Structure 1
Amino acid sequence: MPDLAVSTPTLAPSCRPGGVVPIDRHEATAQATLLKAVADPARLQILNLIRSSPSQEACVCDMTDAVGLSQPTVSHHLKVLIEAGLLRRERRGTWAWFTLVPERLREIALIFG
C-alpha cells in the first residue's frame, strides 16, 4: 500500500529585494490614477504647453490650435487633468485659464524616484 502521508512544503525565503514591502492597494490606486492622467499624448502636450509658457499658464482658447484638437476634446482632457489635481482652473471673463500644480507634478517624479 502506498504511503499517503502529506508533506508540508518548505516555504521559500522572501523574493522581495531587500525585504521591501510593496505599497498598499489604496496608494497604488492613487498613483495609477495620477499616471493615467498623464498617459495620453494630448494631455502631455497640454501640460508642456502650460509649463513652457512664460507665465506658466495658458488659456483654453490657445490650446486647440496648439494641440490640433477640437475645443470639446481639449476641454475633456483639461477636465481629466484637473480631476487628477495636475491643473488649476481660473475663469477670466469668458475664458478659462489653467496653471500647473507643481506639487502634483513632483509626485509623479517621486513615484519612480
Structure 2
Amino acid sequence: MIEVNPGAVMRRHVDAFNARDLDALMTGFTEDAVWITGSSIARGIGELTELFAGAMTGLLPTLVVHDLLADGDRAACQMIETLTVAGEERTFFIAGFYRLRGERIAWAKIYREGSAEIS
C-alpha cells in the first residue's frame, strides 16, 4: 500500500495554482480526475486543463489556505480565493473536499461562500 501525504499533495496543488503553472497543476491530478464546482463538472485531464487554463488567464485567481484537515486519502481545505471578475478584484471564502489516489487528486468538490457560480 502506498502511503499518501494529503497535506503535501494539497500544498503542491495550491502552490502550482498560485504560480499559474498549468503543467505542474495537471501532474497533480489522476487521468480520470473529477472536479466539481457549483453546477459545473470537469472530467479527465483534458477538461481539467481547459478549466484551469481559462481560469488562470481570465480570472487570475490566487488561494490562501487557512485550514487543512487530512486523513488517509482525504483532505478538506478552507481557503480564501481572490480573483478578478469584469476588471474588479473579488474575494471569496471557499471550501474544498478532495479524494486522493496515490499522490494525486482523483476527485474534488469546491464550495464558494454564497454561491459556487461567479456572476
- The TM-score with structure 1 as length reference comes to 0.26
Bigger relative contact order, structure 1 or 2 (CA pairs below 8 A, ≥6 apart)? 2
Between structures 1 and 2, the one with greater helix share: 1
- The TM-score with structure 2 as length reference comes to 0.25
